[in-house]
A and B are shown apart, each in its own frame.
Chain A
Amino acid sequence: MAGTALTRDVRVSGHGTVETPGARVVQVQKSLMRHNDAVAVANRAAFANCLVLNLVSSPGSGKTALLERTVRDLAGELRMAVVVGDLETDNDAVRIHAAGAPSVQIVTGTVCHLEAEMVARAVDQLDLDGLDVLVIENVGNLVCPASWDLGEDVRVTLLSVTEGEDKPLKYPRIFKDSHAIVINKVDIAQVVGFDRAQALANVHRVTPAAQVFELSARTGEGMAPWRAFLRERLATKRG
């Protein structure tokens, strides 16, 4: 079956291939994300010695709750810090701080995602050399953060059992570009009639290579494999 021809592009607007009379063509071939991608490369260089996670989910899936518990569980073992983006308020940074980790709040106003430059400014307030793990909690949104590389090592998408089993099918891009998927709030899975097999099948069909963690940030159930994942990724990065 190899070599079957696929239609690789479809024109959707404008005047097709008809060129302006007298006009000449200038090749550009540059990404619209050029600026962000360049800053992300610089961030990645600055993050040479710590593991950096970009944590993404819908609003309220439990990103901050997972980080609060992770910080508490790993206290004394891994030095963690969190940069957190929200449209308004610094509530999440206050929660992380109370859990025992340095945190920097980025208030994005109307911007629906974090960009590499916002992260670069925020980490200026942290001592990166003294860190093992830096987590960037993105703005609650499954669409926009997908396109913005922040310089992270690992992208984690979190999904809670109250959101329906078809989330991966509705937001395939963010799931595809994730190294790990966390299914949170398993403590209430039964109450909300969560279809675990269906959810796992959907995750697998959209992002077959991602590691999946099923846990409850509230009760702590299922946290051990998640902590092991962080340790293992950090060890791999540091060689």
Chain B
Amino acid sequence: MHEFGLAVSMVDLAVEAARKEGAERIEAIHVEIGALAGVVPEALEFAFGGAREGTMAAHARLEVTYLPAIAYCATCQSEFELDNRFGIAVCPRCDTPSADLRQGREMHVSHLEVT
């Protein structure tokens, strides 16, 4: 898995944004991870422990917000949540499969808490 690389990009993004704001220390990094992103939250937290060392995020908390996978059914003109375990994109109302995934691939840093 590639969680270590992701944790390094996460710290890089955070440090870059915090510097621009003239912050001294990053207290928390808030990230959003989609259910279909293929990221194991525990592995990401473990990798984060290593990636933050020696940076201004050395003592930062990691806050992960998990985004369920959501698809859009054109027949019902309505969104539905996918069965997260299997990613079956069949509308629970009308049984039509949908290829229109609206949420679930995300992997991003949303915001920081800095001092």
Contact = CB atoms under 8 A, between A and B. Distances in A.
A206 B84 CA distance: 12
Contacts of B28: 14, 19-20, 23
Interface residues on B, range: 35 or more
B78 A3 contact: yes
Contact of A9 (B9, B36, B67, B99): B67
Interface of A: 1-4, 6-16, 19-20, 22-35, 111-113, 143-144, 146-147, 169-170, 172-173, 175-177, 204-210
Interface in B89-107: 89-90, 93, 97-99, 101, 103, 105-107
Contact of B38 (A7, A24, A30, A147): A147
Please list the 7 inter-chain residue pairs (A to B) with the smallest Cβ-Cβ separation, ordered nearest first: A172-B87, A14-B63, A208-B97, A209-B99, A20-B27, A23-B113, A169-B86
A7 B103 CA distance: 12
Contacts of A20: 27-28, 113, 115
Interface string B57-83: 000011111111010000011111110
B56 interface: no
Contacts of B114: 23-26
A200 B109 CA distance: 37
B111 A28 contact: yes
A108 B111 CA distance: 33
B78 A4 contact: yes
